[in-house]
Structure 1
Amino acid sequence: MAEHHFLLKADWQGGRNSTGFIDAGGLKAEISIPKEMDGPGVGTNPDEMLLGAAATCYLITLAAMLERAKIPVSQLKLESEGIVEVEQGVFTYKKIIHRPKVTLAAEADGKDVEKVGLLSEKAEKSCMISRAVQGNVEIQVEAEIGVEEG
């Protein structure tokens, strides 16, 4: 069994409404509590980073599945939304909605469109980040699939 280790270093000065900095190799960013949660809103925050991790994992997984299935993809875009609920001062990450927009090349047929729909759902269940938050954060997929005019 192979293991992969990822390292993040963080520096934080002060209390709740301060700012910090993280360095995780390819990810270097200022961090703070978002304005929506009465923070300074400087740089990124845990809510955006969880959404970013889930979205990039889903997108890469879907792209790999489409490639393996030899689906003629012309364009693949993704919009993802994170929903955080606040109840009695307690913040809970409730849901992530992935909205992939897959445009197939003109030579695609109805079977390709159907397969993209199935793979859009399967990618969410196969993604490492989705599996990591399973049971804690609901993840939903709302795929839009089209075919180029040809």
Structure 2
Amino acid sequence: MTDLKFEVNANWSGVGANGEGHLTMGDKTVLYSSPAEMGGKGAGVSPEDLLIGAVTTCYSGTLFAILTKRRLPVETISVRAEGMVTGYPTQTNFSQLVVHPTIIGGDSSKQDEYEKAATMARDKCFIGKSITGNIDYQVGKVQL
């Protein structure tokens, strides 16, 4: 087994909601700040967006691989994800993340098999497994 190391660099300036930063991942740089909904600048993406995005990208790739392995028809997967922050502003907690997959090119007569695969992808995606036990991570409606 090989251990892999991933590195990002963040540069932040400004205090609290008035600040913003740049996150560098490889040769890509992303502007980030606190979300406007939480009194922040709303510039670029938020840490909440990045968390939801990390889980969603892993989930979508894992789901596609499972569907392919199970020989279920699929052309493309589209995933809408929702994150819920509760207790703002005094007891802020990222409490829930729900993924809603749409399988383009799927066979509607196999809806049950797609739903099982969607749940399996949630359980197998290693980024998603990292939040299990801390965040209520669910699969919403599976659409074909």
- Provide TM-score, normalisation by structure 2: 0.90
Structure showing greater radius of gyration is: 1
Give the corresponding residue for 1:125.
123
Shift of 1:88: 5.6
- Provide TM-score, normalisation by structure 1: 0.87
CA distance in structure 2 between the aligned counterparts of 1:69 and 1:43, rounded to whole angstroms: 38
| Stretches of structure 1 lacking an aligned partner (at least 5 in a row) | none
The 8 Å contact of residues 118 and 142 in structure 2, kept in 1 or not, is answered as no
Shift of 1:129: 1.4
Moved over 6 A (4+): none
Residues 99 and 136 of structure 1: CA distance in aligned 2, closer, same or farther (over 3 Å): same
| Stretches of structure 2 lacking an aligned partner (at least 5 in a row) | none
Shift of 1:50: 0.4
CA distance in structure 1 between the aligned counterparts of 2:108 and 2:82, rounded to whole angstroms: 30
One-letter amino acid of the structure 2 residue matched with residue 142 of structure 1: G
Shift of 1:51: 0.4
Shift of 1:82: 0.4
Q: Secondary structure at the match of 2:6?
A: coil
Q: Secondary structure at the match of 1:136?
A: coil
Give the corresponding residue for 1:23.
24
Give the corresponding residue for 2:67.
66
**Pick from 135, 138, 142: which aligns with 1:140?**
138
Alignment of 1:6-45 (within 5 A): 6-16=6-16, 17-25=18-26, 27-45=28-46
Shift of 1:4: 1.2
Say what the alpha-carbon RMSD is for the aligned residues: 1.7
| Identical aligned residues as a percent | 27
CA distance in structure 2 between the aligned counterparts of 1:43 and 1:64, rounded to whole angstroms: 31
The 8 Å contact of residues 120 and 143 in structure 1, kept in 2 or not, is answered as no
